[in-house]
Structure 1
Amino acid sequence: MAVSGAQDGGPGRRVPPDGSPGGRRETPEERADRRWGELLQEVRVTQTGVQILFGFLLTVVFTPRFATLDATDHTVYVVTVMLGAATTGALIGPVSFHRLVTGRRIKPETVVWAARLTMAGVVLLLCTVASSLLLILRVALHNSAVPWLVAGIVLWLIVCWFGLPCWALHRYRPKD
């Protein structure tokens, strides 16, 4: 495989040996290794955020203010902690999955399942953030604007996390 110059599509762009334009020329194993590395980087970012949020949530119950919350806020708290735990499980799942099946020659399948677990973790993270915001804003504001504020942030996260990627997939779809 040659690395092309500017005349072949830009510096550093790989061009197949036959000179045809196209994507990477990888074996299934090379593709699985590349996709696994990319997925691990993505999971590292989300895991850090989840760990911080979940750690904070676990401490809330031990604060003096927690005892003063009403039943609804206690319920929102419990739901939020459960969502945080589920999010943590989904985002650590790819590592466990990979560790348990390593050496079994199913890396492409492992990458697919790990990607599914990661996407489930991202959806659960959206729910955890929404629930956390609901709890915090209910305690901080005590007014009817809270659901609207939470809905606005959830909409923003949906646009950032799902809407823009879906738009890009549609907008930059290869022309056949």
Structure 2
Amino acid sequence: MGRKLTYERDDESTGERLDRHWNELLQELRLVQTGTQILFAFLLGIAFQTQFHTADGFTHAVYAGTLIAAALAVALFLAPVAFHRFLYQKGMRDSLVTITDRLARGGMVFLVAAICGGVLIALDVVLPRPAAIAAVTGVLLWFTTFWLAIPAYIRSRSDSSPAGREPERYDREAE
């Protein structure tokens, strides 16, 4: 359990490492882009439902914030495509990987906000408002735990492993 796994390979050049990191980021983005775009499309449709027009100001405000959060998430998850187009063959892969990582992290923040907003809109219909808000607070804590707290904890344990101990290498071909 206390073993440190690293994804760095001794036989990789800097360019190969950057290419691998770029490809890993693209795979992650493909996953979140689709779900975020579906959520955004669903949210766009809500405003055109007859029942939505009779909702109170709280629901409309939550909806507006949720729609904006989803739009910002979509923009951040798609931004690496634009960056790649502008930086392609400019020898800036290191910047591209760093910027894309930051864009993906920002997109995830807005995605969580959009998911929580969407859940709040739905739960507000079937539960008393305080119960809906409490449930969404639980959802937010759930995301924070699994997307932030646990990875940060594991990373801090890995960073504080005894110095001088040779880390175990991750071998893709052994999979």
User: Normalization by structure 1: what TM-score?
Assistant: 0.83
- Alignment match, 2:166: none
* Among 58, 75, 81, the residue aligned to 1:89: 75
- Alignment match, 2:168: none
Q: Secondary structure of the residue that 2:89 maps to in structure 1?
A: coil
- Alignment match, 2:162: 175
1:87/1:125 contact within 8 Å kept: yes
Task: Report the alpha carbon displacement of residue 25 of structure 1 after superposing the two structures with TM.
Answer: 3.0
Q: Does 1:46 align with 2:32?
A: yes
Higher mean C-alpha displacement, 127-136 vs 30-39: 127-136
Q: Does 1:153 align with 2:139?
A: yes
User: Normalization by structure 2: what TM-score?
Assistant: 0.84
- Alignment match, 1:60: 46
Question: Equivalent pairs: percent with the same residue?
Answer: 35
- Alignment match, 1:137: 123
Q: Tell me how large the CA RMSD over aligned residues is.
A: 1.6
Task: Report the alpha carbon displacement of residue 23 of structure 1 after superposing the two structures with TM.
Answer: 4.1
Aligned length: 156
Larger radius of gyration: 1
Say if 1:96 and 1:79 are closer, same or farther in 2 by CA, change over 3 A: same
- Alignment match, 1:32: 18
Q: Secondary structure of the residue that 1:145 maps to in structure 2?
A: helix
* Structure with greater contact order relative to length (CA < 8 Å, sep ≥ 6): 2
Unpaired segments ≥5 residues, structure 1: 1-21
